[in-house]
A and B are shown apart, each in its own frame.
Chain A
Amino acid sequence: MAEQVIKHIFLAEDDPDIMEVIKIILEMQGHQTTLISRGDEVLPTIKKMKPDLILMDVWMPGMDGREVVKILKQQESTKEIPIIMLSALSELEAIAKEADANDFVHKPFDVDFLVEKVNKYI
């Protein structure tokens, strides 16, 4: 944390408590967060501002996280944005691979492990 460059992270998560705790963790690291609680709100939001990293839950209302990641990874304007998928689904590794996400973190997670993964991409 020697380098204090403020990074902007999108967090798409429908569970308010999980959303809050991840927001706290990211902000403790000095990052700025944009919180999105519906899958179908990710794409409109991204048109307005481009994040440095996206943390994406799989099961979300409106649009499934898988679909969102696939579209983001196919769009020329967004395909370079690193995406880490988060889920309590045990087949998360396969889901992330299929959607072409950069990485994945199983829930429940160790705070330090999540921080490590986030720092790997920003």
Chain B
Amino acid sequence: MRGQDNKLQTEVEIYSPKQLSVSALLGTLVAGGNTDTITSNVEAITHLFRNMVDAFEEGIIVIDKWGRPIYVNRSVADNCGFTSPNAMLKVPLTEMLLRFSFKDENLRPISRFKLPETQALRGKLPPATTMLCYDKRLNRSWWATAKAEPILNATGKVDGVITIYRDITAVKEAEMALTRLNTELETRVRERTEELRRANESLETEIREREKIEQALRTSQAQLTDAQKIARIGSWEWDVVTDQIAWSDELYEIYGVKRTDFGATFDELLSYLPPEDRKHMQQTVQQAIDKKEAYTIEHRIIRPDGLTRTILGKGSVSTDSKGTVIRLSGIAQDITDRKELENRKDEFISVASHELKTPLAGLKAFTQILEKEIQMSGNAVAERYIQKMNGQISRLTGLVNELLDISKIESGKLSLSMKYFDLCHLAQETIDDIKHATTTHTITYEGSVTKNVHADPDRIEQVLINFLTNAIKYSPEGSLIEVRCSQNDTHATISVRDHGSGIAPDHQEKIFDRFYRATTDGSGLGLGLSISHAIIEAHSGTIGLKSEAGKGSTFYFSLPHIKDGA
């Protein structure tokens, strides 16, 4: 309790510079006493009150019945920037009225007649009013609650008004900050909700897009599967590092294996191949890995159901950044049907060739025997006819051979019987044979070589005969045909020059094409030069012509000759 006493003591000290004790004062008042004493006591009390009222934080204003301030406490004076309450009271009323303005809690202006003190002047007892006060001179606002009460005289008439202002700016600001915070929070919540809504919307859009993409992917996957099914092509990927093979659905179909039954390793794959095909497969794949290059392989498989199928495989190699092979991928196609068809076609060509040539053989042999008979009988007319027959038979044989050759070339079955020989000797022999049958042209020959070629002499002869018969066919009777045989470091070359009409440049490009005929006159199938072209290509040689319209043509071919005249 001592603390409380001390506090009271302190307050008294502040408010009472004259060191008057309250109890003493009260005691004096109560006791009455003489006028002097009372006067001095009233002064002391007034002084004490002033001090007390001045010490209030609340502002206190007392106005007379005309509205003129007659008392303000220190808080009011301080608030309005005056040095003392008296200084403030000296300011004329009009000036004060102009200086201050008031707004209600909704910041609507409060008219002077509605102010609590004005109402109180009219004898009303207005409720406490919260308002925003604005001091124009100091350009300062503050919130206050004002409570005004009329001061009634003995007759009950209003003599003045006492108004107590409490500065609630801090509370109001806190309230406003809270409201602002609240509003801000609400705004943020609204914004965040909006953001979330938008995010949700875009997520939904994305999901829809994704579904569309997935659908498209499924569709293209289905199309790929269909395409693989139709083409009987499967695709695969082999992870070389982990030795895992991934197959497309169609590949399982081709192999006749269920997904669950395939161990997906290279060794397991090999086990589907017949033993005689395995080594080739291993070597091909190993070489692709070693050389980092693509490969093509044809092999058979024996399916679990016992069917043998022929597969065309193609693979390519993928490497990592260091160049190490990590993956092989490619396709595998079931070409069994195509293969069968090819085989049937080959067989057909073989049979057709046989069946066409057999009657020709009979015809030719009988004609030749007949020729001998007629020669002996000395019938010159019959002999001439029989020679014509021989010529026609040769021509027919040539045509059949051309057709068969082109069939073989088309199916890549042109076989060569390679021998070592002197190309110039072959040319001379061929020319001798042709000379026997040719009376219309003069054929000359020059040149020799020191090195042999490695080639099929029958096929090379065929090319040379083709050149010579063309030269005879397309150059005027009695003109010269010049054959030259030569060599350089790498090749032996034979050229046949005629003195015919020559070949225009636009025909030159196409003259080795199949079925192409530079002129519409003359006979033949237009296959001779394309067969010659294929034959020389099969020997890794070159074939060509030089020609100028009106100056004849020179056809040539070159074959690589072997190193040391073997």
Q: What count of chain A residues pass the 8 Å CB interface test?
A: 23
In the complex, the answer to whether B357 meets A88 with C-beta atoms within 8 Å is yes
Instruction: Assess whether A25 is interfacial by the CB under 8 Å rule.
Output: yes
B residues less than 8 Å from A87 (CB atoms)? 354
Q: Specify which of B350, B355, B369, B393 is in contact with A108 (CB 8 Å cutoff).
A: B393
Q: What count of chain B residues pass the 8 Å CB interface test?
A: 24
In the complex, the answer to whether A25 meets B358 with C-beta atoms within 8 Å is no
CB nearest to A111 among chain B residues = B368
Instruction: Assess whether A43 is interfacial by the CB under 8 Å rule.
Output: no
In the complex, the answer to whether A107 meets B369 with C-beta atoms within 8 Å is no
In the complex, the answer to whether B404 meets A107 with C-beta atoms within 8 Å is no
In the complex, the answer to whether A109 meets B357 with C-beta atoms within 8 Å is no
Report how far A22 CA is from B363 CA in the complex, Å: 12
- Most chain-A Cβ atoms within 10 A of its Cβ — which of B355, B363, B365? B365
In the complex, the answer to whether A90 meets B404 with C-beta atoms within 8 Å is yes
Given that A108-B393, A111-B368 are known contacts, is A18 also in contact with B350, CB under 8 Å in the complex?
Answer: no
Instruction: Assess whether B465 is interfacial by the CB under 8 Å rule.
Output: no
Report how far A122 CA is from B511 CA in the complex, Å: 48
Q: Specify which of B353, B363, B366, B415 is in contact with A88 (CB 8 Å cutoff).
A: B353
Given that A108-B361, A108-B393 are known contacts, is A21 also in contact with B417, CB under 8 Å in the complex?
Answer: no
Interface residues of A in 68-122 (CB under 8 A from B): 87-91, 93-94, 107-112, 114
Pair count A-B, CB < 8 A: 62
In the complex, the answer to whether B353 meets A108 with C-beta atoms within 8 Å is no
Given that A90-B404, A91-B415, A111-B368 are known contacts, is A21 also in contact with B362, CB under 8 Å in the complex?
Answer: yes
In the complex, the answer to whether A25 meets B365 with C-beta atoms within 8 Å is yes
CB nearest to A106 among chain B residues = B357
**Chain A interface (Cβ within 8 Å of chain B)?**
15, 17-18, 21-22, 24-25, 28, 59, 87-91, 93-94, 107-112, 114
**Chain B interface (Cβ within 8 Å of chain A)?**
350, 353-366, 368-369, 372, 393, 397, 404, 408, 415, 417
Given contacts A17-B366, A18-B361, A88-B361, could you give 20 more A-B pairs where the C-beta distance is less than 8 Å?
A17-B359, A18-B362, A21-B362, A21-B365, A21-B366, A25-B365, A59-B354, A88-B353, A88-B360, A89-B353, A90-B350, A90-B404, A93-B417, A94-B417, A107-B361, A108-B357, A108-B363, A108-B397, A111-B368, A111-B369
